[in-house]
Structure 1
Amino acid sequence: MKNVWLLHIESVETRYTGQLRHHLRQQIEHAAEDCVVNVRVIDIDGDVPDQIPTKGAFLDFAATNIFKSTQVAELARRFQRGEVKPNDVFVFTDAWHPGVHQLRYMSALLPIPVRIVGLWHAGHYDPNDFLGRIGPQHVPWAKDMERALFKAYDVNAFATQAHIDLFRKGPGAAEDGGRVVKVGWPMEYLPRLLEPYRGMPKRNLVLFPHRVPAPEKQVEIFDDLANAFPDWQFDACQRTPLSKDTYHRRLAEARVVFSGSLQETLGIGCYEGVLSGAVPVVPDRLSYTEMYPEEFRYPSEWTASWEDYLRHKPQLVDHLRGVLARAEAGVDLEPCRQQLTPFFSGEALYNEVFEKL
């Protein structure tokens, strides 16, 4: 029997991370049974201090380092007690984790060879991420840090090709370090969780499913569009923290979900909208381009910036008016759901985890 060690990203109730923490272990265990692989999945969590999230963020940028540091301490104890075995697999569900270097250090010096998989979310390589917006002149170390993280992983896992391309453009990491794979994201639990909400009555509601405030999500565009549609309610629902149940009920009521995001390496909110029966309206950029059928995408330049939005506002209003009319009449979203499904499945990730077991 081989060990698969899961280093979780910290759970935040208003994000998907709590659900992922709950379901990922079970999904890996079920996948192992299907592949006839004999593994033991071991969770490595950290201490969760009181969270005081930075404005526009979902994390407390100090608390997240307390969490990761205590994960590393727990890993060291497991090495010290002899629980880590040769060829064990470690999965970092947040690849931007300095603990991967400490794991490599212990593995090399003890010596106990291990295999490490990292799931990339975001980082300095994305100019619209928190660290990316600071600018390279203020964090000159960040590019080298990301290269070093990249090379520490045996497998660098990304959800979409757009995310891979963005990463390569940023740190310029060559593939002589870790292997790069597109795996989607291990969220196959979502359709099952949202199924109970799909029968709720719809109303003329357009939902903005992203964090507020967050400059890369451009909620100001959504707010301005609302003025053109007085008979519809436009709701940026995350302006106040919602429980998952309340959020899912809001999604189920909505006829349409709208995004003007400048950063989307996957886009969970719009997918949840589709699962809940809402018509997605997304820009033709980022991961959206490869994920969504053309009929649900509008030209990227219409919301590339506030200035671009003002220039193209008449076209976007006309486009959205047509979408709202179709949404009232009813839109068959099943082909869209089918196209999105592989991006929210962990099958490719599990194959990477089990590859050499």
Structure 2
Amino acid sequence: MKPSDQSLAMAPSAPARQPLLEVDRASVRLGNTQVFEDLSVTVGEGEFVALLGSSGCGKTSLLRTIAGFIRPRSGAIRVRGRDITGEPPDRRGMALVFQTYALWPHMTVAQNIGYGLKLRRLGRGEIAAKVRDITALLGLSGLEERKPAALSGGQRQRVALGRALAISPDILLLDEPLSNLDARIRLTVRQEISALQRRLGITAIHVTHDREEAMVMADRIVILDAGRIAQIGTPEEVYNKPASAFVAAFMGAENRLRLQARPADPGESLLQVVCEGSTSALIAPGRPVAPGACLAHFRAEAAELHAAAPLAGPTRGFLVLPGEVGQVSFPGGFWRHVVATPAGSVVVDAPKAWPAGSKVNVHIPETGLFVFPDAPG
């Protein structure tokens, strides 16, 4: 099975949900670019799924294909088993919140929220009652007569969300709606959206390039890489059990070491750092690794700094790299160090600052190493 053929099957630990949306082996090509091919995902009723990846990975194109703004060259889109591949966006039972919000500047808050209801030819009284409920739900009461230019970024985002919710969609689609907000407001609004989705039981698909945003908001995360699904899982699964070196790095384990693996005692492996003149090696208990070249990723917070001391040979349970502190900074709550080692520079976070020029040993616990076969090239 190719990575792109993986479906959003429910993780064993997740509660069973009724399937709602199916993307079945869809292929999209824009101009000369194959955005994705034979990609299949399913989303459960009431589930919050995040499409996570860097720019150009295909996440927004996938969302727009689901919404009906892009027609796949092959494959099918189904909602509750009904094929909607050829249906226009307004007949899919979905609502899309755009990154730019796309509010009508000449309309008031109430008019923007009620716009979709007006298109559906609801009566004035029914529209007014629905708008009143939505503004109260989103904390916009008292702002009904303001126009978008008189609102803050967070308020405009809520109006865009209210317009989407007013039509009672089966699926709420969110195309990076928080990216235009400053950091402080973004934290507040993402908590509000997450709480609202759970309160209303809405099925939501959220596009983001921010891994922390995906982690705190989603039930499951779909990580995309160049139009292919790299991994699907709960936030805990993709963080603690990355399926590839790409996923490990994307989820924060950006330090990388080249290792050579060979068998040790039964059920154990010896992992030796590949660099000239190095004696750094780790005996990994209970972790048999296929012999040969491999890559190990680890997070800056997983390692520790200790005063330099001679290495007596392979260590059990943790890897030791000799090094020298180069740069030191304080991003808040900890000190970040760039350490030059025989295996290359690594970043290590520590509760205290080690001055630049300090000779240190970097201790990396075996449990903090994500080890993968080294691909050719």
What TM-score do you get using the length of structure 2 for normalisation? 0.29
Q: Which has the larger radius of gyration?
A: 2
What TM-score do you get using the length of structure 1 for normalisation? 0.30
Q: Which has a greater percent of strand?
A: 2
